[in-house]
Chain A
Amino acid sequence: DQQVKQNSPSLSVQEGRISILNCDYTNSMFDYFLWYKKYPAEGPTFLISISSIKDKNEDGRFTVFLNKSAKHLSLHIVPSQPGDSAVYFCAANDSGGGADGLTFGKGTHLIIQP
């Protein structure tokens, strides 16, 4: 049973436009959410995170929005650049559960077109 879902396997966006990646979760105990970016043959790189006490966190071109009632979060990238082309993983954690790893979605392949 997938607790973290990324329903779009791929997304194509024109350079300069906004990229919006979506993620849904089912476990109401999750209280910390992260986005990772992964290039082929490399490990995931941490991008941005958000605690459940917030509904928005911004870092440069990246903003993560959290809607707890809908159990939904999204990553906005503005403006999109060619180097943003990668697979993006959404991840969630139940911090009260101790260090038991993150639960990852299956990823969304973002393609930025020139």
Chain B
Amino acid sequence: DVKVTQSSRYLVKRTGEKVFLECVQDMDHENMFWYRQDPGLGLRLIYFSYDVKMKEKGDIPEGYSVSREKKERFSLILESASTNQTSMYLCASSLDRAQETQYFGPGTRLLVL
């Protein structure tokens, strides 16, 4: 079974704080993704990575950055958290470019005050 874990289930931060969200997968997947889910908007892709040290912008990268120093770990960074970044953040991974099925972690619900 694929296992994708996220460091926190719930997080409360203040405006302007730097926030790190960590994601780890244990199936040696090449691709990793960060999405946010908001009511009425579905899942929107923030950033993705198809290899160590590689990153690509998704549909809504503004205000975020990512880091992939190791194959199994993909971090999402909010440089200066703002209230409009309050959301559910979902990490996913997929095997490789030929395998499109993505497997999701449990999500991190972030509240920015």
Measured CA separation A25–B45 after assembly (Å) = 17
- Are A100 and B42 within 8 A (Cβ)? no
Given contacts A43-B107, A99-B50, A99-B97, A104 and B42 within 8 Å (CB-CB): yes
Please report whether the interface of chain A is mostly helix, strand, loop or mixed according to DSSP. loop
- B109 partner residues in chain A, CB cutoff 8 A: 41
Given contacts A99-B48, A100-B48, A101-B58, A42 and B106 within 8 Å (CB-CB): yes
- Are A100 and B100 within 8 A (Cβ)? no
CB distance from B66 to the nearest CB of A (A): 13
* From A36, A44, A99, contact of B94 by CB (8 A): A99
Residue of A101, A102, A107 ringed by the most chain B CB atoms within 10 A? A101
Chain B: CB-nearest residue to A95: B100
- Interface residues in B67-113 by Cβ distance below 8 A to A read 90, 92, 94, 96-98, 100-107, 109
Measured CA separation A13–B102 after assembly (Å) = 28
13 A-B pairs with CB atoms under 8 Å apart are: A32-B100, A42-B106, A42-B107, A43-B90, A43-B104, A43-B106, A46-B101, A95-B97, A98-B50, A99-B96, A102-B43, A102-B100, A104-B35
Show the binding face of A for B, using Cβ within 8 Å. Answer: 9, 32, 34, 36, 41-46, 49, 89, 91, 93, 95, 98-102, 104-107
Show the binding face of B for A, using Cβ within 8 Å. Answer: 4, 9, 30-31, 33, 35, 40-45, 48, 50, 56, 58, 90, 92, 94, 96-98, 100-107, 109
